[in-house]
Amino acid sequence: MDEIIRDSLHEFRRHKGLADRAMAQMSDDAFFRRPAPQVNSVAIIVKHLAGNLLSRWTAFLTTDGEKPSRDRDGEFLVTDDDTRQNLLAAWEQGWDAVFGALNGMTAADLAKTVTIRGESHTVVQATLRGMTHAAYHVGQILYLVRLLEPGSEWLTIAPGQSSSHHAGYRKPF
């Protein structure tokens, strides 16, 4: 497996792991709470990122990343079907699509071109685009958990703890 693919898998897994650990510390009320009308809840972020990942990474090398079946606008609405259990199942399905696509890639695939909304990207560009999008939303989730569950465990180096931090960045998830 090419180093770029391996490192991409590591970063995607690391970000998913952070989000999973953060969400595990949330009550159901906090999971669905919108801090303000213009601020998404963790539930909405999960629904959106799940939809994005599933669309982008299913048949990644052979179809446009924006699938006709995706309802992006609907990803920002919580319906009666959007239980925490259902949203987390969709979340897992989206991440499974990422990991499946990356695990199935070879170094030769990195030179290929894929499309997202009809726009051409190299596989490396599309991977970086997907990674930065996921990292952005994982950061939102971590921030919302800190805001809504202030007593939750620090998942990154806590303020004032930098000097006692031991390297473990590359540990597997």
Q: What pLDDT is attached to residue 167? A: 67
pTM value?
A: 0.93
The reply to whether 164 falls in a domain is: no
* Separation of alpha carbons 125 and 128, rounded Å: 5
The reply to whether 90 falls in a domain is: yes
The reply to whether 106 falls in a domain is: yes
The reply to whether 166 falls in a domain is: no
Give how far Cα 119 sits from Cα of 19, 65, 122, Å: 29, 10, 10
Around Cβ 96, how many Cβ atoms within 10 Å? 14
Q: What pLDDT is attached to residue 160? A: 87
The reply to whether 170 falls in a domain is: no
Give how far Cα 63 sits from Cα of 8, 117, 173, Å: 20, 10, 29
For 94-144, what is each residue's pLDDT tens digit?
999 999 999 999 999 999 999 999 999 999 999 999 999 999 999 999 999
Helices (H), the chain: 3-23, 28-32, 42-57, 84-103, 123-148
Domain hosting 67: range is 3-152
The reply to whether 81 falls in a domain is: yes
The reply to whether 39 falls in a domain is: yes
Per-residue pLDDT of the chain (173 residues; tens, 9 = 90+): 699 999 999 999 999 999 999 999 999 999 999 999 999 999 999 999 999 999 999 999 999 999 999 999 999 999 999 999 999 999 999 999 999 999 999 999 999 999 999 999 999 999 999 999 999 999 999 999 999 999 999 988 888 888 887 766 556 66
CATH number at residue 124: 1.20.120.450
* Separation of alpha carbons 15 and 139, rounded Å: 9
Q: Which residues pair with 122 in a beta bridge?
A: 113
Q: What pLDDT is attached to residue 171? A: 65
The reply to whether 158 falls in a domain is: no
Tally of domains in the chain: 1
